[in-house]
Amino acid sequence: MKYEQLAKDIIENVGGKENVHSVVHCITRLRFKLKDESKANTEVLKNMDGVVTVRQSGGQYQVVIGNHVPDVYKAVVAEGSFEGNGSVEDGGEKENLLNRFIDMIAGIFTPILGVLAASGMIKGFNALFVAIGWLDTEGGTYQILNAIGDGLFYFLPILLGYTAMKKFGGTPFLGMVIAMALVYPALEGIPASAEPLYTLFTGTLFESPVYIEFFGIPVILMTYSMSVIPIILSTFVAAKLENFLAKVIPSVIKTFFVPMFTLLIIVPLTFIVIGPIATWASQLIGTTTLWVYELSPIIAGAFVGGFWLVFVMFGLHWGIVPIGINNVVTQGWDPILALIFVHSFALVGAIAAVWIKTRNKKTKGLSAPALISALFGVTEPGMYGIALPLKTPFIYTIISSAIGGAMLGYFGSVAHVMGGLGIFQTPSFIPPEGIDMSVIGAILAALVGTVLAFVLTYFFGGINKNESRTNEEATQSVAATTAPIVKNEVICSPFNGTVKKLTDIADSAFSSGALGQGVAMEPAEGKLFSPVSGTISALFPTNHAIGITSEEGAEILIHIGMDTVQLDGKYFTNHTEQGSRVERGQLLIEFDAQAIKEAGYLLTTPVVVTNQDNYELITLSEQEVKAQDLLFELKVK
């Protein structure tokens, strides 16, 4: 590990890992809570290579590292085995419920994205080999490849049990055991091998056969393999319950009794409550879809096609699949599942746009396998790994899928057999009489969905949006400020406020220039605007500090207030995300300046260039400025 020795030295000089109560990190420094700060060798740490300085403030022992603090933090956590005590928690309020939901989904699915994409590709290629006659579905080669490709998806709840439980702050292996119970073969096979004891809610939309009871309580069985939402809900409740039990059960017996009681409560609760709710929600979606299709095939196409990925994400698509199967069996054709044909092609178009345009190596690496998987109808890698975290590609995929679904409804395209997904669903549209306009319409809809999603994502998706500003435009931009026109790189003011000397800041890590050269500012209002056009390179979860890399390569750090990390995000609201492209003058963060001051914190804000060795700074004298006025200039050395 690159920072292994530095991590060892830091832990040793804060008094050893036994002296560490917890450790987190902000955008520039490690923040230790030590049991006894007198045991720390402060002077040794200050003079250590890789450490900028040390500060003791607000009950925290702060070891200032600089921009690479996330890597050093990981090394410290690994070296000190602080996994449970040292993890960074997202503090503060999120912008809205959608952002909170997306953060949760990303945190749960990100750890398995690589293997998810790999399994999807294997599954897709296996179907392709069968379609072109290379493999027989009865052969051993196909069966083994199918097990490799389909195994992860079948047992997906077990993997999600681990990642979701970890995300929610519980014991990951408990989440896995909960999921194992849900996909236990003996329980899943009961409906196919036994007669129901009785039926609940007979004659209603929620009519459900009951095959088993739990202490006299009816259990409505459903299929949990390849599902997502039941295990996520279960682990959310389980994490809360586990933490509660850990507080009330005596330490001498909690090792065994906490997991035992957690499982005894959560697993039955899932079978009795969470499962039925998911089942009834699916049935409601299916019934609503048939009703809408009878009213208008075009509206139904837009509805089913547009929201199919959302249904899959929540497991609600199982309310529609049985209807489609029944239609094929009873009348020889199905209009419902045919309407979902375009969704995977729209996702292909959106991912292709991201793949071409993104500058993020991780995103680009995930895009290729996710695109192949989506082409073969396996949408999970692209949906959870690319489209949903980036937001706009997901929205444009939904829009394109809705338009494609409406086209399928208009052309009367229906499925005559239960075929595959993606490109392998195409043959299912061919009627016994041969290719007709409904088949051609389906192909046209797929093409329109692909192209539309690509165009929308590429040009309006905000994925490393290329901003080519001419010298004339740059001159006009600078001329609009009160500062003189210069040829050097211009850093504009991120606030309406007053410019001060950096040396006036109480935090020595900034005032000494150790973290970079620049200026200090006193914001006059609670709005931070981007001082340059570039990319958000760092955004701490509490939203009190942000890093921006300009198009020309300047790395700018803005830290709102002094020690405001201790507010845990309270009074801060962000309007961007790490890795996103921003334009000069774009609103990035809002904060309640008055509330922060009343809470006892200074709003003095350093605005510094952290890769200072590359530049010579020409700064303004102390004065009042407006947002987008010239703040300072950078002259390349």
Shortest CA distance to 45 belongs to which of 76, 71, 67, 2? 76
Q: Which pair of tokens denotes residue 149?
A: 């490709």
Is 26 annotated as catalytic? yes
Q: Alpha-carbon distance 437 to 333, whole Å?
A: 16
CB atoms closer than 10 angstroms to residue 352: 20
User: DSSP code of 485?
Assistant: P
Angstrom distance (rounded) from CA 54 to CA 70:
17
Which amino acid does the sequence have at 402?
A
Task: Report how far residue 78's alpha carbon sits from residue 320's, in angstroms, rounded to the nearest whole number.
Answer: 47
How far is Cα 313 from Cα 301, in angstroms, rounded to an integer? 19
**For 306, phi and psi rounded to 5 degrees?**
-70, -40
Scan for tokens 């198009």, then name that residue: 551
List 25, 26, 492, 544, catalytic entry: 26
CB 573 within 8 A of CB 589: yes
Residue type, 5: Q
Catalytic residue among 25, 343, 544, 559: 559
Q: How far apart are CA 236 and CA 274, in angstroms?
A: 12
Computed over its alpha carbons, how large is the radius of gyration of the chain? 29
425's tokens: 């669903």
Active-site residue flag, 492: no
Per DSSP, the three-state class of 636 is: strand
The amino acid that residue 616 corresponds to is E
Contact present, 558 and 548 (Cβ < 8 Å)? yes
Q: Phi and psi of 204, rounded to 5°?
A: -115, 175
Q: Is 607 helix (H, G, I), strand (E, B) or coil?
A: strand
Count, in order, helices (H) and strands (E) of the chain. Answer: 24, 22
How wide is the angle at C-alpha 177 spanned by C-alphas 171 and 178, nearest 5°? Answer: 90
List C-alpha distances in Å: 17 to 40, 78, 81, 143, 568: 11, 11, 8, 51, 25
Q: How many other C-beta atoms can be found within 10 angstroms of the C-beta atom of residue 613? A: 9
Give the closest residue to 617 by CA, choosing from 442, 445, 490, 433. Answer: 490
Q: Are strands 545-550 and 555-559 parallel, antiparallel or unpaired?
A: antiparallel
Give me the residues paired with residue 489 across strands: 634
Enumerate the active-site residues: 26, 559
